[in-house]
Amino acid sequence: MSQHYQHDVLVIGSGAAGLTLALTLPEHLRIAVLSKGNLSNGSTYWAQGGVAAVLDDTDTIESHVEDTLNAGGGLCREESVRFTVEHSREAIQWLIDQGVPFTRDDQTAREDGGFEFHLTREGGHSHRRIIHAADATGAAIFNTLLEQAKQRRNVELLEQRVAVDLITERKLGLSGERCLGAYVLNRASGEVDTFSARFVILATGGAAKVYLYTSNPDGACGDGIAMAWRAGCRVGNLEFNQFHPTCLYHPKAKSFLVTEALRGEGALLKLPNGERFMPRFDERAELAPRDIVARAIDHEMKRLGVDCVFLDISHKPADFVKLHFPTVYERCLDFGIDITKEPIPVVPAAHYTCGGVVVDQNGHTDVPGLYAIGETSFTGLHGANRMASNSLLECFVLAFSASDDIRSKLAITELTDDIPGWDESLVTRSNEEVVVSHNWDELRRFMWAYVGIVRKDERLQRAKRRISLLAQETDEYYKHYIVSKDLLELRNLVLVASLIVECSIARKESRGLHFTVDHPGQLDKAEDTILVPSNSPLAKP
């Protein structure tokens, strides 16, 4: 029997953004936080580096703003950047207050009463401003916030619940546009339950799973972007997908990042025949910026038709390698690769979705009562290229402002409970699951080949044609068969892939992460790519 739940706030997503929002809302509100797998299954848990913030006395807000604008290729929205950076110290203090065990720097604290936590520096940042918990910052943040959330009696944490679609007044044929809740598949019972809420928040993370190779966990299917689009929200800048240059290439190593620090310590990128290739692409060779290295690897793989290239640090003393890179050493050894003796097979991998659901400074979308926060949103902070460690920061700052906005609207927002349940009368159980797995695989492969790191008009058109076929098939399947997590994810991936392709086709220039051989130059005026459901053939009820 399907259930009907009522909450004040429904938070879809239990990563940094969703948990922060739940913890900053007033304790008298009934809040549900959903995760489609285990609570830890988002990207947050896997974040390694840290969180960027202006914490050091010698650093300034101006400097952090300027670095972010420089990285963003002329497309950052300056007021969003400023807003995020201005709230960075407050965000870190809040995390410290929650108990996040950031790595300490006893020396600075002792010597001059300065900031007591260790700060590192990452690409694009002109100061040390990355606060971290060793090399597992995401896990430290997630575990701390989860423990806090578990202690809140008003917060219900619900695992294995896949949001299927948002419920809006428009979809129910009522007058008005408000979001009233969501239909949610309970994976344990197999039923689709109805959740009504006064406010609904999409905190569903990115969409990197649309690509064959990704550093993201399995759930990064762009569900929030797809649900928001179907509910009538604009989306933007989805052509800007950040690729990490080096992910371990091994059939069993799903998404293991090989840190850039290896190249910093002298590791060389080589072709299968042992030849070094980076000096042909950039005078900084292996130390060129992330997007240049990713593009060079992609170019060589496509040119030679090979599955991977190799990252070689075996010329360094074995003790040095083991001391500096214990995690990479151990993990590769698990897969039978001794990096002190042999090169590591690597491929670039989709890492971060810079665009997303268009929101204002409070995370509010185009649909009243619906918010999008974290990686699923598009605030204008990242522009055409995300600067390292600004993404977690955005999760916290946007969750704070969404929380304030919800507080300010509590008195004027009622719960609408008169919502019909999920209708399953016309669907049956599928005996053709192979369609889902095959289409999923096909989509991710051609997205990698045609809409990946280096683009071309012809390839984008090819991808568009294939997607429209997959969309038809997936739609048919969705209409006739009982929903499953895999089917829902495929449906969302196909839609998000089509939105990525539309954004990529619309951008007739190379800017930031979007590089196309047909339009290698940059236009004088930098403009966002905004897609509007009501104007688009991709819009589906």
Ligand X SMILES: Cc1cc2nc3c(=O)[nH]c(=O)nc-3n(C[C@H](O)[C@H](O)[C@H](O)COP(=O)(O)OP(=O)(O)OC[C@H]3O[C@@H](n4cnc5c(N)ncnc54)[C@H](O)[C@@H]3O)c2cc1C
Query: What are the catalytic residues?
Result: 290
Q: Which stretch binds ligand X (CB under 6 A): 306-314, 369-377, 445-453, 467-475?
A: 369-377
Residues 6 or more apart whose Cβ sits within 8 Å of residue 385: 71, 72, 73, 240, 242, 291, 354, 512, 513
Give the x-and-dash track for 276-295 against ligand X (CB under 6 A): --------------------
Phi, psi of 309 (to 5 degrees): -115, -175
d(CA 336, CA 331): 9
Location of structure tokens 């938070």: 11
**CB-facing half-sphere around the CA of 446: CA atoms within 13 A:** 24
CA angle 375, 499, 77 (to 5 degrees): 50
Binding flag, residue 219, ligand X (CB under 6 A): yes
Give the x-and-dash track for 78-117 against ligand X (CB under 6 A): ----------------------------------------
Residues 246-275 that bind ligand X (CB under 6 A): 257
Measured from the CB atom, the residue of 258 and 268 that comes closer to ligand X is: 258
Measured from the CB atom, the residue of 217 and 463 that comes closer to ligand X is: 217
> Using the rule CB under 6 A, which residue among 9, 10, 17, 278 binds ligand X?
17
Helices 434-450 and 485-506 cross at an angle (nearest 10°) of: 20
Instruction: Give the pair of three-digit tokens for residue 462.
Output: 């090819």
Q: In the complex, what is the shortest distance from the CB of residue 510 to ligand X, in angstroms, rounded to a whole number?
A: 24
Residue 316: DSSP 8-state: S
Instruction: Give the pair of three-digit tokens for residue 535.
Output: 């104007």
Residues 390-409 that bind ligand X (CB under 6 A): 391-392, 395
Q: In the complex, what is the shortest distance from the CB of residue 225 to ligand X, in angstroms, rounded to a whole number?
A: 10
Instruction: Give the pair of three-digit tokens for residue 3.
Output: 């259930």
Binding flag, residue 236, ligand X (CB under 6 A): no
Binding flag, residue 36, ligand X (CB under 6 A): yes
Q: In the complex, what is the shortest distance from the CB of residue 317 to ligand X, in angstroms, rounded to a whole number?
A: 28
> Using the rule CB under 6 A, which residue among 9, 15, 21, 119 binds ligand X?
15
DSSP 239-290: T-EEEEEEEE--TT--S-B--THHHHTT-EEE-TTS-B-GGGT-TTGGGS-H
Binding flag, residue 131, ligand X (CB under 6 A): no
Measured from the CB atom, the residue of 240 and 450 that comes closer to ligand X is: 240
Listed residue (458, 422, 250, 267) closest to 334, CA to CA? 250
Measured in whole angstroms, the distance separating CA 469 from the mean position of its chain's CA atoms is: 26
Q: Which stretch binds ligand X (CB under 6 A): 12-20, 89-97, 281-289, 314-322?
A: 12-20
Binding flag, residue 203, ligand X (CB under 6 A): yes
Binding flag, residue 365, ligand X (CB under 6 A): no
Q: In the complex, what is the shortest distance from the CB of residue 489 to ligand X, in angstroms, rounded to a whole number?
A: 8
Q: Which stretch binds ligand X (CB under 6 A): 155-163, 418-426, 432-440, 443-451?
A: 155-163
> Using the rule CB under 6 A, which residue among 181, 356, 374, 380 binds ligand X?
374
Phi, psi of 163 (to 5 degrees): -65, 130
Amino acid at 304: L
Q: In the complex, what is the shortest distance from the CB of residue 116 to ligand X, in angstroms, rounded to a whole number?
A: 21
H or E, element range at 32: strand 31-34
Binding flag, residue 14, ligand X (CB under 6 A): yes
Q: In the complex, what is the shortest distance from the CB of residue 256 to ligand X, in angstroms, rounded to a whole number?
A: 9
Q: In terms of C-beta distances under 8 Å and separation of at least 24 residues, what long-range contacts does 409-416 make, across chains too?
A: 409/199, 410/8, 410/26, 410/29, 410/198, 413/198, 413/199, 413/369, 414/198, 415/6, 415/8, 415/196, 415/197, 415/198, 416/169, 416/178, 416/180, 416/181, 416/196
Residues 42-61 that bind ligand X (CB under 6 A): 42-44, 46-51
Residues 299-338 that bind ligand X (CB under 6 A): none
Using CB under 6 A, list all residues that contact ligand X: 12-18, 34-37, 41-44, 46-51, 137-138, 161-163, 203-205, 215-216, 219, 223, 257, 352, 374-376, 389, 391-392, 395
